[in-house]
């Protein structure tokens, strides 16, 4: 009997399934992932939602993330659930690396350098860093990314070869639906892949007429609509079965007001052309280089359109898809019209195509045979500048990823020390008894004149992605009770945060605020910790 031979044969077949370029993308993503994110993987940086979700996945069914809810239910019945950084972090990077392999295959990337560059950029992009601040759900979110990429690839491949389109459509729609059920923001990735591939079809002269172009676009659009419809139906069904309602977080429980759509659309355009990407490009050079990359990309698109052999009418129709591309990448801005809705860096992975598209365009230009000339010289020079800019951005993002984790660790250490001092003051308060109720009053308004100077450093403020706050944000965060429970072993059922009721009591109003003398006192048999007015 030979038990290992079938296993070895399976992995050999699996290895032969992927080409050398995909291997470069995979290895580059794994390597860069450890350099960019090893800090958080091999340390335990935990605050904000992560301290409240050590043993769960946060918002699931009530946030429209019903597939995330299924994963939670399965894990709780089997493996149980822990926010472990090494396992979650490495699995997350593995999923990104596999997604990079599929993108390299989808666009027939032949350059090993460009394949590796795609893998590296996909893993160092600071949206990944933001997700790692939610380590408890990081691998699930990256699984959603992988499913989004596979969803697009399955349908695009079928449409390209004109075989098995119906079957591919169903599989693609189901995969996209599951991805949405884990994390809705990756819909922008699917849209971007569809639109870029649609444009590349023009460059490769795949369409016989504008109607062929439109038909292909409508197939992709129908796939997205079916996916969204299935997601919405399953959202309703799962909430009904679980007897829960939509959470009011970021206006998720509000309806969509079409009258506000123009206002939201304008906000999206401003955000995109500002190139700050919700704090991802907080430093000036990042915004400047991103703008430069974008402008050169427009030059390359015009150049490739002129060189393409497709009919003029098809080229003109393709402009519609090109205009829709930045909208699709930033579709998250249009997901809600609620005044409470706010897009943050966690939701903007679709914007990565500002940097991935140029790499794909470079691949296209390399495959073209053109004569030497002034225009070619200009485009070649601009492309070299673009390559340098993307390289600088890649290194800069890797550096800032680590800076974000450093900021998080500093904040965590400072918050631990701060709360330690406060807990000591509580337990040494005259008349304190372990059976007393402890109430934290005005925590969100905490202002302490002894806050450390490092907290005001411009260096730390250069990191603006979610969720990497300063420690003053941590100690005034109303969910910091979870932080104290995790890091300091303080905070049982007798410790609570005031909802504003206790703050109105005359005796409490007369108290000074922490850390001034008298800010911790026994009032009516309770320990009152007055943190703010």
Residues 6+ apart with CB under 8 A from 93: 29, 30, 33, 34, 37, 123, 142
Q: Is the peptide bond before 467 cis (omega within 30 degrees of 0)?
A: yes
Q: Does position 389 have pLDDT exceeding 80, yes or no?
A: yes
- CA–CA gap between residue 310 and residue 296 (Å, rounded): 23
Q: How far apart are CA 246 and CA 60, in angstroms?
A: 10
Sign, CA dihedral 47-49-55-57, equals negative
Residues 258-272 as b/e (b if ≥16 CB within 10 A, e otherwise) read eeeeeebeeebeebb
- Report pLDDT for 247: 79
Q: Which residue has the tokens 């459509």?
A: 169
Q: What's the whole-model pTM score?
A: 0.94
CB distance 98 to 26 below 8 Å: yes
Contact 296, 377 (CB under 8 A): no
Instruction: Kindly give, in sequence order, each residue whose CB lies less than 8 Å from that of residue 119, ignoring residues fewer than 6 positions away.
Output: 24, 25, 26, 27, 28, 29, 32, 97, 100, 101, 104
State pLDDT tens for residues 424-453: 999 999 999 999 999 999 999 998 888 877
Q: What pLDDT, on the 0 to 100 scale, is given for residue 455?
A: 65
Place of tokens 């030059």: 299
pLDDT tens per residue, range 43-93:
999 998 999 999 999 999 999 999 999 999 999 999 999 999 999 999 999
Residue 471 pLDDT > 90: no
Q: Taking residues 498-508, report their average pLDDT.
A: 95
Backbone φ and ψ of 309, nearest 5°: -95, 0
CB 350 within 8 A of CB 191: yes
| pLDDT for position 13 | 86
389 phi, psi to nearest 5 deg: -65, -45
What does the radius of gyration of the chain's CA atoms come to, in whole angstroms?
Answer: 26
Which candidate, 460, 482, 462, places its Cα nearest to that of 472?
A: 460
Residue 193 pLDDT > 70: yes
């Amino acid at each position: 009997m030979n038990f290992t031979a079938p296993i070895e044969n399976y992995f050999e077949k699996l290895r032969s399934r992927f080409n050398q370029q995909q291997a470069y993308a995979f290895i580059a993503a794994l390597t860069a992932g450890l350099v960019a994110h090893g800090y958080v993987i091999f340390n335990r940086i935990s605050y904000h939602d992560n301290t409240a979700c050590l043993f769960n996945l946060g918002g699931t069914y009530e946030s429209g993330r019903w597939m995330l809810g299924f994963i939670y239910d399965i894990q709780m019945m089997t493996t149980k659930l822990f926010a472990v950084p090494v396992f979650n972090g490495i699995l997350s990077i593995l999923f990104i690396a596999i997604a990079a392999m599929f993108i390299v295959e989808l666009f027939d990337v032949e350059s090993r350098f460009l394949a590796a560059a795609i893998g590296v950029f996909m893993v160092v992009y600071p949206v990944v860093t933001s997700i790692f601040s939610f380590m408890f759900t990081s691998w699930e979110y990256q699984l959603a990314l992988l499913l989004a990429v596979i969803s697009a690839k399955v349908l695009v491949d079928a449409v390209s070869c004109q075989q098995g389109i119906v079957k591919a459509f169903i599989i693609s729609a189901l995969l996209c639906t599951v991805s949405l059920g884990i994390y809705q923001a990756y819909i922008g990735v699917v849209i971007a892949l569809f639109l870029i591939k649609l444009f590349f079809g023009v460059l490769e002269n795949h369409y016989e007429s504008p109607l062929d172009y439109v038909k292909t676009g409508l197939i992709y659009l129908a796939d997205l609509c079916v996916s969204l419809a299935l997601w919405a139906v399953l959202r309703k069904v799962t909430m009904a079965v679980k007897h829960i309602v939509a959470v009011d977080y970021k206006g998720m429980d509000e309806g969509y007001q079409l009258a506000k759509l123009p206002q939201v659309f304008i906000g999206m355009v401003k955000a995109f052309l500002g190139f700050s990407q919700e704090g991802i490009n907080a430093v000036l050079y990042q915004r400047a280089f991103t703008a430069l990359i974008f402008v050169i990309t427009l030059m390359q698109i015009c150049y490739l359109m002129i060189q393409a052999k497709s009919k003029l009418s098809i080229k003109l129709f393709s402009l519609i898809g090109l205009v829709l591309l930045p909208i699709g990448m930033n579709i998250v801005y249009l997901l809600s019209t609620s005044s409470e809705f706010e897009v943050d860096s966690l939701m903007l992975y679709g914007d990565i195509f500002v940097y991935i598209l140029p790499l794909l365009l470079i691949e296209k230009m390399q495959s073209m045979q053109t004569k030497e000339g002034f225009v070619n010289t200009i485009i070649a020079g601009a492309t070299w500048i673009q390559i340098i800019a993307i390289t600088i951005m890649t290194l800069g993002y890797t550096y800032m990823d680590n800076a974000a984790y450093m900021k998080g660790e500093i904040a965590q250490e400072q918050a631990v020390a701060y709360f330690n001092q406060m807990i000591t003051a509580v337990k040494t308060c005259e008349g304190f008894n372990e059976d007393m109720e402890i109430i934290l009053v005005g925590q969100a308004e905490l202002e302490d004149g002894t806050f450390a100077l490092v907290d005001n450093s411009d260096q730390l403020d250069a990191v603006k992605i979610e969720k990497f706050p300063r420690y003053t944000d941590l100690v005034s965060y109303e969910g910091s009770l979870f932080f104290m429970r995790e890091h300091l072993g303080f905070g049982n059922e007798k410790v609570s945060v005031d909802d504003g009721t206790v703050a109105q009591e005359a005796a409490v109003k007369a108290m000074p605020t922490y850390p001034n003398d008298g800010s911790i006192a026994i009032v009516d048999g309770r320990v009152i910790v007055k943190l703010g007015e």
